[in-house]
Amino acid sequence: MEPISPLPQHVAIVMDGNGRWAQRQGKPRSHGHQAGSEALRRAVETILERHIPYLTVYAFSSENWNRPTVEVKQLLDLFMKALTRDIRELDEHGVRVCFIGEREAFSRPLRDGMRRAERRTAGNNKLQLNVAVNYGGRADLLRAARRLAEQVQRGELRPDQIEAKHLAGELFMADIPEPDLLIRTGGEQRLSNFLLWQLAYTELHFTDVLWPDFSAEHVDTALRDFARRERRFGGLGQVQHA
Ligand code: IPE
Ligand code: IPE
Ligand code: MG
């Protein structure tokens, strides 16, 4: 098979459709989240095989607290399990795991688990996996704005000196390239408050496939779709000048 080129350096995924996947089989939504965590393991494997250095996944949004308490609890229990079971495997595969989002909202054991996972994998460099938990794009921007205001207040920065790089540098995901490709499964065509700043020029790929069904072939379909895109960044690209 033809190699896919160019490949994105950073892929972001809104992993949506777990609940509907379960409901279609007459099972509880938690069954879908369980299957969704398996789909994530497969996706990480495929992204590693394609030598893509950055993957950012939306696991729990700042609005997902609006779900019934039992579902939130099931999701958090699932994270806790993943933190103990999957981290070892990710570490062995050279994956560096980072969490983005407001982790203060989580229980002490969960926060400790996240910190341990980050420390354990900090030296790995095959793939950086950013897991967005209690993440919201607006909250990310608000937090960055507050931090810049504090720098101004301390006299370290003047308001007229603030540039895009200052704001970008205060976001949860500072210092890594912005996503080239965003995949959203589950059929909805919206961002749902994911990386609002960083997605400004990202190519968007929407698919009806529900997240638990997302396979290596679906990853490749998205990568091929990306390879066909012409990115212009507001310029003229390959278009002939008149
Ligand atoms: C995505 O699947 C997982 C999370 C948001 C945590 P959903 O749970 O949103 O599944 P649907 O969209 O209801 O099918
Ligand atoms: C987005 O999915 C968040 C995650 C996948 C974690 P949602 O299911 O929460 O999004 P909406 O509610 O359909 O916009
Ligand atoms: Mg959903």
240 has a pLDDT exceeding 70: no
Distance 155 CA to ligand 2 centre (A): 40
| Residue closest by Cα to atom 6 of ligand 1 | 60
The residue-averaged pLDDT of 189-203 equals: 98
Catalytic residues: 16, 64
Banded pLDDT at 90 (limits 50, 70, 90)? very high
Cβ–ligand 2 contact at 131 (below 6 Å): no
Cβ–ligand 2 contact at 172 (below 6 Å): no
233 has a pLDDT exceeding 80: yes
Distance 33 CA to ligand 1 centre (A): 8
Q: Which of 170, 200, 167, 209 is nearest to 182 (CA)?
A: 200
Q: Is the dihedral of CA 203, 204, 209, 212 positive or negative?
A: positive
Cβ–ligand 2 contact at 59 (below 6 Å): yes
Which residues have any ligand 1 atom within 6 Å of their CB? 15-20, 60, 64, 75, 186
Q: Model confidence over 24-39: pLDDT tens digits?
A: 999 999 999 999 999 9
Tell me which of 69 and 2 has the higher pLDDT: 69
Q: Which domains can be identified in the chain, with CATH numbers?
A: 10-136+177-227 (3.40.1180.10)
What distance in Å separates the CA atoms of residue 53 and residue 44, rounded to the nearest whole number?
11
**Average pLDDT, whole number, for the chain?**
97
Q: How far is CA 77 from CA 48, 138, 155, 241, in A?
A: 26, 26, 44, 57
In percent, the amount of the chain with pLDDT more than 90 equals 96
What's the pLDDT score for residue 238?
81
Closest ligand to Cα 33: 1
The predicted model scores a pTM of 0.97
209 has a pLDDT exceeding 70: yes
In percent, the amount of the chain with pLDDT more than 70 equals 98
Q: Is the peptide bond before 6 cis (omega within 30 degrees of 0)?
A: yes
179 has a pLDDT exceeding 90: yes
Q: Which two tokens stand for residue 173?
A: 């995901």
Q: Model confidence over 144-165: pLDDT tens digits?
A: 999 999 999 999 999 999 999 9
What's the pLDDT score for residue 241?
62
